[in-house]
Structure 1
């Protein structure tokens, strides 16, 4: 799918600006990222959309990253009524109460240290994996962690953009 156009991509390219802006905001809360992608429409292929997303992500400032992260709930606490959040954090479903408590405790310590939620591409990840990554990443310095967050956001954005341009999606 990534090397061609899809009915969903055609639909996204044809959206009115406000609707396209809203769709991009659902993928990533950074207005700078969304504006950069919006400005490059129409996209010839899904891969071109991904390239534009990756380039926009690489250019985000620390403030833009903070705005993007503000759109993500903490791991283990998906936004109530948000199917995207619940789907992406599905790996937490079978976690023990002990694991959830440890994750919450480390999430709070991470937030205190870095000033934002622990962000990881949770799609397909188990609770144990996410906890392990949190234990590793809480030891990082601020600059190293910001670049890891940028990379994780890029992965999340690609997954969400894929959903946006899939045939039959409700863009």
Structure 2
């Protein structure tokens, strides 16, 4: 879909497409005010600006719209609307060893228990081993540090998905 095609979508369809890029209701509603967009640069700049103006609750809502890294069942069932994007973003997990997959699952659980939300990382271009190392390193952070990091990672994911949407 081109940016022009996105610009002329019916409002509810545009809302759903934006929600597929970022699962924060507040962010989507903020973004809807800026359409139509003149170009991709404007879209990405507005998306980032609006993301950082959201609240912690808005960020955490967006996090709930991601499957856990390596959770294939979750990817195919709960997240059907974004499964193709998420599968592409996490495609290297499918080639990881069973041990790495098990370690990811255990670290994901520890992360969620410590921080109260799932581990968010922009997985595009990262191997399962790299994501595991990032996850293990981030487990040692504070809640304050981690919400900022997760928020930044969500922003990267959103910007990539907006580019895919308008490609």
TM category, shorter: over 0.9
Q: Secondary structure at the match of 2:120?
A: coil
Write the distance in 2 (CA, Å) between the matches of 1:148 and 1:54: 14
* Paired position in structure 2 for 1:85: 86
What are the ranges of 5 or more consecutive residues in structure 1 without an aligned counterpart? 1-6, 167-171
Cα drift, residue 151 of structure 1: 0.6
1:73 aligns with 2:67: yes
Q: Which has the higher helix share?
A: 2
Per the normalisation by structure 2, the TM-score is: 0.93
Runs ≥4 in structure 1, deviation > 4 angstroms? none
1:48 aligns with 2:45: no
Write the distance in 2 (CA, Å) between the matches of 1:131 and 1:108: 12
* Paired position in structure 2 for 1:4: none
- TM-superposition CA deviations, 1:24-52 (whole Å, max 9, x none): 01111101111111111111110000001
What is the correspondence of 1:10-159 to structure 2 with a 5 Å cutoff? 10-78=4-72, 79-80=75-76, 82-159=83-160
Q: Secondary structure at the match of 1:29?
A: coil
Q: Secondary structure at the match of 1:93?
A: helix
Once superposed, what is the RMSD of the aligned Cα atoms? Answer: 1.0
Cα drift, residue 57 of structure 1: 1.1
What are the ranges of 5 or more consecutive residues in structure 2 without an aligned counterpart? none
1:8 aligns with 2:9: no
- TM-superposition CA deviations, 1:84-120 (whole Å, max 9, x none): 2211110101100011111111110000000111000
Q: What is the total number of aligned residue pairs between the two structures?
A: 160
Q: Secondary structure at the match of 1:116?
A: coil
